[in-house]
Amino acid sequence: MKWTYFRKEAVFLLSSGIILLFIAGGVLQPDLLDAAASTIHSGILNNFSWLYLISAFFFLIFVISLALSKYGTIRLGYDAERPQYTFFGWVAMLFAAGMGIGLLFWGVSEPLVHFLTPPPFLEPLSPESAAFAMRYAFFHWGIHPWAIYTVVSLSIAYFSFRRGMPALISSCFYPVLGDRIYGIPGKIVDVLAVFATVFGTATSLGFGALQIHAGFSHLYGISSAIQVTIGIIVIATALFMASAILGVEKGVQVLSKFNILLAILLLTFILLLGSTPYILNIFSSTLGGYINNVIDLSLQAYPFAGYQWSRDWTVFYWAWWISWSPFVGLFIARISRGRTIREFVLTVLTVPTLFTFIWFSIFGGSALNLQLNKGVDLASVAGEDVSLALFVFFEHYPFAGVLSLIAILLLSIFFVTSADSATVVLGSLTTGGSLAVPLYKKVFWALSLSAVAIVLLMTGGLDALQKMAITAAFPFMIVMIILCYTLWIGLSQEESRDDESE
Amino acid sequence: MFEKTLIPVAHGETSEELRKIGRILKSLGSESICLFHVSDADSFFNGSDMSWLLLLKEAIEELGLSVDVRTGSDHIASSIAEAALREGVDEIYLKAKRHWQLRTILLGSVSRDLLRLADTPVFVHKIRPLLPKEKEGTITRDDLIILYATDFDKASNRPLPYVMQFQGSWCHILHVRGRRADPRSEKRKSSRVKEKLTSLEEELRPYYGRVTSEERIGNPANEVLFVSDQIHADVIVLGRSRPAFLSSPMGDTAEQIVTGSKASIFLVP
C-alpha cells in the first residue's frame, strides 16, 4: 500500500523533499547553502557557459527548421481540430506569459546597466556603449527566449494533444525511454522540471518583491530592510495561494488581460510623452543591429575581452528562460491546441518578440535619452540599485506618482498571476499531468515558491536569485536537448502513423 | 541460387586455403567457381607469371567443381563488381582475415568498397562457420544457424529467397526498429510486427529444423550484432539499401554489421 502510494506520488515526494531540504538549509545554515550554491554555480559557469550559448542558438535553429520543414503543417492536435482561441486572443495570452515581472524590472535598468558597465573593450557611458546596451537588451529579450519556450511547449503540445499522452515532460521522452517513463528515469525528468520551475519562478518572484519594495520605499520612504521585502512576499503569497486554491481561473484571466491593457497604456504614455522620434530611431537602429549581428551575439562569449560580462548577463538570461520554460511551455502549449507547428512557431517567435522590442525601445530608449541628452544620471541609480531605476525614471514624466503606483500595481498583479499559474503547473506536474490538483499540493507549492524566494533573498539577494536560476536550469537544459531529439523522432514517424492505425 | 560463385584472388593465395573455401562453398550448393584476379597497374607483380592462378584452379577442380579463371584491371572493387555481373555469378565470396582485433582495417578498403558497389550478393566469410580442416569433410547444413535481419522494407525483403536457400538447423528472424512516439502507436506497431514475423516464420519453416523470431527496439547494427553473438549465428543474412550520400563516411548499418560481426555475412544488395 505504502509502496503503491510512493510510486504514484514519487515526483511530488522527491521534488518536495529536495525543496524542503533546500529551505531548511537556507534557514538553518544560510552560509553553508550560499557556499554550496556558489560552488555549483561557478563550476557550471567555468565549465559549461559555452553550452548555454550553443544550446539556445541550437534551439532557435531547431524550431525555425521545424516550422519551415514538411512538419510545419502538422497540427498540434488531431487533424480535424481547430484552434480553441481566436488569433488575437491567443496572441494576447502569449504576451501575458512572456511579459511579466521581468520586463518591468529590467525594461529601464538593463540598457542603463550595460551602458554603465559594458565589457572592457567598450568605454562606459559612450555612444558605442549605448548602442551595445540596446542591442544586448533586444538580444536577451528577443527571439532566443521564445525559442527556448517553444522547444518545451511544442514538445508538450505534440506529445499530449497529438499523441494522447499526459501533459508531462516525461511523456515527451517515450521515444527514447519507452515504458521507463513510468519508472525512475521518467520521474527524474519530471523532478528536474519541477526543480527548474520552482527556482525559475522564485527568481522572478524575488525580482518582483525587490522592485515593489523599491517602489514603496521611493514613494513613501518605507524602510529598505529585507524584512519589508519578506513581508511583501508573504502578503502576495496569501493572495496567490487563495487564488490558486479557490481556482479563480477566470478571475486570473481577467486580471491578466487587465494587466496587459495597463502595460500597453503605460507604454503608450511613455512613448507619447517622451521623445517619440528619438525612441522610434532607437527602435529602428537597434532592430537593424540586432538582425545584422544575431548569429555573432548568439555565440559570442567574449573569451578574449569581457569574458565575465557574457557569463553575468547572457548566460544568466538563458538559464533563467530555461528554468522558466517548463512553466511557460506548459501554459503556451495549453492555449495553442489546434494550431499547426508552422503557425505556432512563427507566431510565438515573432509577435511577443516584437512587443518586447517595442517595450525596451520605449523604456530603455527613453532612459538613455534622459541620460545622454537631458543630463539625468539614471545609469548611476541603476548601477547602485537596479530595482529603483524605474521609479527614478518616472520622476521625469508628468504624474510620476501615479505612474509609479501603476508600475507597482502591474508588478503585484504579475506577481500574483505568475505565482498562481506556477502553483497550478507545479501541482499538475506532481499529479501525473492532471489538472485536478489536490489542495494540499497547491498549498505546499505556493508556500514553497515563496519560501525559496525568501531564502534566496536572505542568503544573497539578487545575486543568489541569479545563481540559483543558473544552477537549476543546467540539468533541464540537458533535458531540453533530448526533447529536441524525441520531438524529431515523433514528427519523423508522422508519415507512418496511418500505416500503424490499420 | 548459390550455384556460381566468384572468388577474388590475389598473389600469395594458397591452394590449401582455396580448397577449404571450395569445400564450404560446395557444401552450400556451389557447382561452379569463377576465380577472378585484378592486376593493379602499379603492383610489383604486374605482368609476372600467372601460372599461380592455374594452380589454384586445379586445386578447386580437385573438389569436383568447375572453375573459370578471369582477370581484370583498373579499380579493383569496381572490376570485381562488374565481373560478377558479366559472369552472371550468384554471389561474390570474400574472406575476412583472422586478426580479429583489427578486422576493420583488415577487411580492407577493397572489400568495403565492394560491399557498397556490388550489385551481386556478397558473402563475407568470418570466424563462423569455421572452415573445414583439410581432412575433416565439409560443413553440414544441419549445423548452420542463420540470423535473418529484417525491417520489412524492400531492401530487407530481397534476401528472403537466399534465406530459404541457405537452409540449416535454425533460422532466427530478427526485426529491429525504433520505438514509436507514444504507447498506443507502439502497441499497434508491435502487434503488426508480430503478425508479420509469425507469417515469415511459417514461410521459412519448410527450410529449417527450427524457426524463431524476435522483435527488438534500438540501434539496428548493435542489436543485430548482440543477437548474433547470443545465438552463435553462423551467417547473418541482411539486405543493403543504397546508403545516403552522407551515411557512408559515418558507416551505414550493413557496414557496421560486417565490420563488427564474428558470424559470416550474406549481404544482398
Residue A37: count of CB within 10 angstroms of its CB: 22
In this structure, is residue A500 part of a structural domain? no
* A113: nearest Cα among A87, A89, A136, A84: A136
Shared domain for B43 and B150, answered yes or no, is no
Model pLDDT, residue B131: 65
- pLDDT tens sequence across B44-76: 555 566 777 888 888 888 888 888 888 887 777
Is residue B219 domain-resident?
yes
Q: Does B136 map to a domain?
A: no
- Cβ-based contacts of B190 with chain A (< 8 Å): none
Calculate the dihedral angle through the C-alpha atoms of B178, B183, B189, B192, rounding to the nearest 10 degrees: 140
Q: Are A493 and B185 a contacting pair at CB < 8 A? A: yes
Q: Are residues B173 and B114 in the same domain?
A: no
Task: Give the end of a domain, one of B99, B125, B151.
Answer: B125
Question: Which of A484-488, B161-165, B259-263 has the largest mean confidence?
Answer: A484-488
For the domain that residue B263 is a member of, what is the CATH number? 3.40.50.620
Tell me whether B178 touches chain A (CB under 8 Å).
yes
For residue B147, the model assigns a pLDDT of 93
Residue B135 lies in a domain: no
Closest Cβ–Cβ partner in B182, B188, B189 for A165:
B182
Reading the block at residue A20, the C-alpha cell is 524542503
pLDDT confidence of residue B246: 44
Q: Does residue B17 form part of some domain?
A: yes
Q: Which of A493, A496, A498, A499 to mutate to test the interface with B (most CBs of B within 10 A)?
A: A493
The whole-number pLDDT of residue B99 equals 47
- Please answer yes or no on whether A175 and B183 come within 8 Å at the CB atom: no
Distance from CA of A326 to the nearest CA of B (A): 20
Q: Mark yes or no for CB contact B185/A163 under 8 Å.
A: yes
The answer on B203 and B105 residing in a single domain is no
The answer to the question of residue A198 being in a domain is yes
B210 and B112 within one domain: no
Measured between CA atoms, the residue of chain A closest to residue B178 is A175
Return the residue matching grid coordinates 507566431: A347
Count of structural domains within chain B: 2
Q: How many domains does chain A have?
A: 1
A292 by DSSP, 3-state: which? helix
CA atoms within 13 A on the CB side of A75: 11
B176 and B240 part of one domain? yes
Tell whether B87 is covered by a domain.
yes
Instruction: Give yes or no for B192 touching A (CB within 8 A).
Output: yes
Note whether B147 and B260 are same-domain residues. yes
DSSP H helical ranges for chain B = 15-27, 51-61, 76-87, 103-106, 108-117, 154-157, 160-166, 183-204, 220-231, 247-250, 253-260
Is 60 exceeded by the pLDDT of residue A500?
no
Give B-chain residues touching A164 at CB under 8 angstroms. 182, 184
Residue of B nearest to A485 (CA): B181
Range of the domain at B59: 4-125
For residue A165, list chain B residues with Cβ-Cβ distance below 8 A: 182-183
Instruction: Please indicate, yes or no, if residue B131 is contained in any of the structural domains.
Output: no
What is the overall mean pLDDT for chain A? 88
Q: What is the pTM of this model?
A: 0.84
Residues B64 and B145 in one domain: no
Q: Which residues of B touch A173 (CB under 8 A)?
A: none
Domain that includes residue A180, residue range? 11-492
Domain assignment present for residue A4? The answer is: no
Q: Which residue has the cell 537544459?
A: A477
B195 has a chain A CB within 8 A of its CB: no
Q: What is the pLDDT of residue A250?
A: 67
**Residue A80 to chain B, least CA–CA distance (Å):** 19
pLDDT, position A248: 59
In a domain, A48, yes or no: yes
Instruction: Give chain A's length.
Output: 502
Residue A157: all three cell numbers together: 503540445
Do the Cβ atoms of A175 and B180 come within 8 Å? yes
> Chain centroid to CA B198: how far?
25
Q: Is residue A317 part of a domain?
A: yes
For the domain that residue A23 is a member of, what is the CATH number? 1.20.1740
Residue A432 above 70 pLDDT? yes
A502, part of any domain? no
Higher pLDDT, B31 or B247: B31
Q: Of B125, B155, B190, which residue sits at a domain end?
A: B125
> Is residue A400 within 8 Å of A406, Cβ to Cβ?
no
Please check whether residue B21 lies inside any domain of the structure. yes
pLDDT in tens, A255-309: 777 888 888 899 999 999 888 999 999 999 999 999 999 999 999 988 887 788 9
Establish if B162 belongs to a structural domain.
yes
Q: Which of A341-350, A352-361, B30-39 is predicted with the least confidence, judged by mean pLDDT?
A: B30-39
Q: Which of B125, B155, B170 is the last residue of a domain?
A: B125
Query: Do B180 and B107 reside in the same domain of the chain?
Result: no
Instruction: Write down the residue that cell numbers 552522407 correspond to.
Output: B246
pLDDT in tens, A454-488: 988 888 776 777 788 788 889 999 999 999 999 99
Regarding whether B67 and B176 lie in a shared domain, the answer is: no
**Per-residue pLDDT tens digits for B97-154:** 654 443 333 456 777 778 878 888 888 888 767 666 655 555 667 778 999 998 887 7
Is residue A70 one of the residues assigned to a domain? yes
- What one-character-per-residue DSSP string does B73-137 give? ESSHHHHHHHHHHHHT-SEEEEE--S-GGGHHHHTHHHHHHHHHH-SS-EEEE-SBSPPPPTTS-
Nearest to A209 by CA among A403, A67, A442, A419: A419
Q: Is residue B244 a contact partner of residue B99, using CB atoms and an 8 Å limit?
A: no
Per residue in A365-416, pLDDT tens?
999 999 999 888 999 999 888 888 999 999 999 999 999 999 999 888 888 8
ipTM score for this prediction: 0.76
Whether residues A178 and B181 touch (CB distance < 8 A) is answered with: no
Same structural domain, B86 and B12: yes
